[in-house]
Chains A and B, each alone.
Chain A
């Protein structure tokens, strides 16, 4: 079955870095756009970034542009999010999601990132 498993979350100090990973299985990873979406504690959903099948097309939310980098390794069925210059407002559960028909049809369970001194 289709499965997405995020990892790499944790506690980091303001200004620090973290790299999230998302392991995909149960489908042909290289055929799908992929997204990162986050949710701050008690808040709504916020789209972060998406990447095309080949990685040639990438977009970011303004709130993370210049600090976060999305990438993928189709040979390893993996999606990544490199997060630099982290701020308290980046504290959230980060979900990876598969895109189909330009909607996110499958989501991981999420990984919590806490930015605090």
Chain B
């Protein structure tokens, strides 16, 4: 199975900061990676699919990049609504694996 490793596990940042979260795959997954945002008590929300495609309705301050085994989610000018937990997910193989999550906290 393909393993997904996210870093960091927790990130402290301030409103207006530029934030980058990394996701590494144990094997190449081409561009088959998605990013989700989850707030406490709520279902996850799709932000990015195919590594860099922005989901409709998602603010343009969110962007994704990467291919193969290394991917990043970048949030430009962090907003109060962005404090949440972020997950990557690979969907290249017959199983679909999530990263362990990155909690973005207020500094």
Contact = CB atoms under 8 A, between A and B. Distances in A.
Contacts, number: 57
B68 to A, nearest CB: 17
Interface stretch (B10-18, B20-28, B45-53, B73-81): B45-53
B96 interface: yes
B2 to A, nearest CB: 11
B63 to A, nearest CB: 16
Interface string A80-108: 00000000000000010000111111111
A103 B44 contact: no
Interface in B34-79: 34, 36, 38, 43-46, 49-50, 53, 55
Most buried by A among B49, B91, B94, B96: B96
Nearest to A98: B46
Interface residues of A, number: 21
A61 B38 CA distance: 22
- The interface residues of chain B, by DSSP majority, are classed as loop
B5 interface: no
Contact of A102 (B43, B49, B100): B49
A39 B53 CA distance: 25
Interface string A31-55: 0000100000000111100100000
B98 interface: yes
A27 interface: no
Given A50-B96, A102-B49, A107 B89 contact: no
Most buried by A among B43, B89, B100: B43
Nearest to B49: A103
Interface of B: 1, 32, 34, 36, 38, 43-46, 49-50, 53, 55, 87, 89, 91, 94-101
Given A45-B36, A47-B97, A101-B53, 10 more contacts: A44-B100, A45-B89, A47-B89, A47-B98, A102-B49, A102-B50, A103-B89, A104-B34, A107-B43, A107-B45
